[in-house]
Copies of this chain bind each other. A is one copy, B any other.
Amino acid sequence: MIVVLKPGTKQEDIQKIIERIQSFGLRAHISEGEERTIIGAIGDERLMADQTLESFPGVEKVLPILKPYKLVSRDFQKSNTVITIGGLKIGDKRVHVMAGPCSVESRDQVLQAAVPVKEAGATFLRGGAFKPRTSPYTFQGLGEEGLGYLAHARELTGLPIITEVLDPRDLEIVSRYTDILQIGARNMQNFKLLTEVGKLGKPVMLKRGMSATIQEFLLSAEYIASEGNRKIILCERGIRTYETETRNTLDLSAVPLLKQLSHLPVFVDPSHGTGRWDLVAPMALAGIAAGADGLLIEVHPQPEVALSDGPQSLKPNKFLALMKDLKKVAEAVGREL
């Protein structure tokens, strides 16, 4: 940690900063330049939570040197994390596509999505039973009934399932049904939920918050990892920007960046990332070309009557066509599908 001092800071104020640094077991090293004096705090600066040095008289700014996350970083573990679920390896050479409807609406609707996505080559079935909806007047999900439909579809198709959990109180029941727990963008900083999920052994997909930095994203993953659960998949799903033509701005540069900073598998969700079915295919291809380990794609048998996210859902035939194109791009970048 580097503390930059304002010009003319008094010796006694400098002394107080040094003592504060030392009180955390770090060493302080002063360096006087022509325009600014700086103090380096040498040691594990993570012990100095919240950079409170900025409140000290004379401090102009504080620059962190170390990354605030540890267990999820590439520094900590050089090799890629590979998560095995029902014999499928996530984070390995093979790219995985998790597909299915935004919301579980009925037993039939889930099957009408699950069967064709399986045939097209998807390896996981997605579907929401507990739904975070912006308006209280819209469909809120079927709850446990929906989980049952997902389980039924898994039985028939053999596809493992991924579904979202919103509330720590639902964790027990959702865990009973699902193969992967999904933490949605709105809950990326629901730290209580992260902590609880961290105590379980179940794989978890953590979606990037709508306005989360890469660092905050990895710190949220660290919450889970620090409780003992290392089976974490990161998912880029679009961030909020000023652009309104798309629902979000899919930040694909997050993919190679996260792969560089962390050893965890990285997925892309082009459905939420764009909010428009007609942009899903090109962005899915781009995601794989950028190095993603997999995709999360919304497929609905009849998007026009979907109870949520119809505008961003693919019909099964479009999904099939996409999978064929994805296979080619995956192979072009040395992966397989």
Contacts of A65 in B (CB 8 A): 2, 4, 33, 36, 38, 63
Q: Which one, A87-95, A111-119, A199-207, A327-335, is touching chain B?
A: A327-335
Residue contact A329 to B289, C-beta cutoff 8 Å: yes
Is A216's beta carbon under 8 Å from chain B? yes
Looking at the complex, which one of B40, B51, B256, B308 makes contact with A38 (CB distance below 8 Å)? B40
* A322 to B: closest C-beta gap in Å: 12
Q: Which of A252, A277, A307 has most B Cβ within 10 Å?
A: A252
A310-B54 CB under 8 A given contacts A44-B34, A186-B190: yes
- A interface list, Cβ under 8 A from B: 2, 4, 7, 16, 20, 29, 31, 33-36, 38, 40, 42-44, 46, 49-56, 63, 65-66, 68-69, 75, 132-140, 166-169, 186-187, 189-192, 195, 210-211, 213-216, 219, 222-223, 226, 239-246, 249-253, 255-257, 260, 273-274, 276-279, 282-283, 285-291, 303-311, 313, 325, 328-329, 331-333
Q: Which of A53, A282, A288 has most B Cβ within 10 Å?
A: A282
Residue contact A244 to B20, C-beta cutoff 8 Å: no
Looking at the complex, which one of B133, B241, B289 makes contact with A249 (CB distance below 8 Å)? B241
Residue contact A243 to B214, C-beta cutoff 8 Å: yes
Contacts of A260 in B (CB 8 A): 278
Q: In the docked arrangement, what's the CA distance between A288 and B306, Å? A: 32
Nearest 10 A/B pairs, CB to CB: A211-B211, A289-B289, A49-B138, A54-B311, A52-B310, A286-B290, A328-B332, A332-B332, A55-B310, A286-B286
Looking at the complex, which one of B219, B246, B291 makes contact with A253 (CB distance below 8 Å)? B246
Residue contact B253 to A240, C-beta cutoff 8 Å: no
Looking at the complex, which one of B63, B211, B223, B246 makes contact with A210 (CB distance below 8 Å)? B211
Q: In the docked arrangement, what's the CA distance between A325 and B334, Å? A: 10
A249-B239 CB under 8 A given contacts A33-B42, A282-B290, A289-B289: yes
Q: In the docked arrangement, what's the CA distance between A55 and B304, Å? A: 5
* Residue in chain B with minimal CB distance to A325: B333
* A205 to B: closest C-beta gap in Å: 19
* A242 to B: closest C-beta gap in Å: 5
Contacts of A139 in B (CB 8 A): 49-50
